């Protein structure tokens, strides 16, 4: 018997984010950064951001590395606060998923996110939609990241997913492409068109005889 489930990204789906916010807030206190753009911040942190998200670097090592590269003249606590203050919860998505959970309390809902310790801890505290999920797979713990297949394979095994009966929701075309190639049902989420998700969800629920 089919076991339908949901597999959902976090960034730009459950919460919008804007690295410019961190970059411009940090800029006046950074010896290295002057203009405060996210492109500049990303360039300065380029060599440590990916290893951090892939779980090859812990929070402390990342913070030490970031503090040095930015020439940040503040404490690690202050840098952590700036690094994490980039998210805005997506209220429309939270509402839809809360309603779905009420309609189908037994439907398994899992997260699949490229993230790292500091952001995940922050999101768990400040983004209420995360509490609707039965856990998930996170790149820094899985030591694999989207759009690679490995993290999807880990999710299939760990969350006991049947791709054909799992609706994968993500905002990035490359992640959607991998999921599609692996046989998942997919929805390419657009923060500016939440209605499209509502329609896709209803269609998928009908496909899975869950209405």
What residue ranges bind Mg ion (CB under 5 A)? 9, 11-12, 171
Residue nearest to Mg ion (CB): 11
How would DSSP label each residue in 155-191? Answer: HHHHTT--GGGEEEEES-HHHHHHHHHTT-EEEE--T
Indicate the residue among 153 and 171 with the shorter CB distance to Mg ion. 171
Q: Which long-range contacts (CB under 8 A, 24 or more apart) does 173-180 make?
A: 174/146, 174/147, 175/9, 175/146, 175/147, 177/147, 178/146, 178/147, 178/148, 178/149, 178/152, 179/7, 179/152
The CB-of-15 to Mg ion minimum distance in angstroms stands at 9
Indicate the residue among 68 and 124 with the shorter CB distance to Mg ion. 124
Indicate the residue among 9 and 94 with the shorter CB distance to Mg ion. 9
The CB-of-10 to Mg ion minimum distance in angstroms stands at 7
Of the candidates 168, 171, 161, the one whose C-alpha atom is nearest the C-alpha of residue 192 is: 171
Indicate the residue among 111 and 156 with the shorter CB distance to Mg ion. 111
């Amino acid at each position: 018997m089919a076991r339908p489930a949901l597999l959902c990204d976090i960034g730009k789906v459950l919460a919008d984010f804007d690295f410019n916010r961190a970059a411009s807030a940090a800029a006046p206190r950074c010896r290295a950064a002057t203009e405060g753009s996210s492109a500049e911040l990303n360039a300065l942190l380029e060599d440590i951001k990916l290893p951090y998200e892939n779980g090859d670097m812990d929070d402390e090592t990342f913070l030490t590395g970031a503090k040095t590269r930015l020439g940040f003249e503040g404490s690690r606590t202050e840098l952590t606060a700036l690094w994490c203050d980039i998210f805005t919860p997506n209220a429309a998505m939270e509402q839809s998923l809360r309603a779905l959970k009420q309609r189908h309390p037994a439907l398994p809902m899992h997260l699949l996110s490229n993230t790292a310790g500091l952001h995940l801890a922050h999101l768990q505290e400040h983004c209420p939609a995360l509490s609707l999920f039965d856990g998930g797979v996170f790149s820094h713990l899985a030591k694999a990241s989207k759009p690679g297949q490995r993290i999807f394979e880990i999710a299939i095994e760990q969350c006991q997913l049947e791709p054909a009966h799992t609706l994968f929701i993500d905002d990035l075309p490359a992640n959607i492409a991998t999921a599609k190639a692996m046989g998942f049902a997919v929805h390419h989420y657009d923060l500016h068109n939440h209605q499209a998700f509502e329609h896709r969800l209803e269609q998928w629920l009908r496909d899975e005889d869950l209405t």
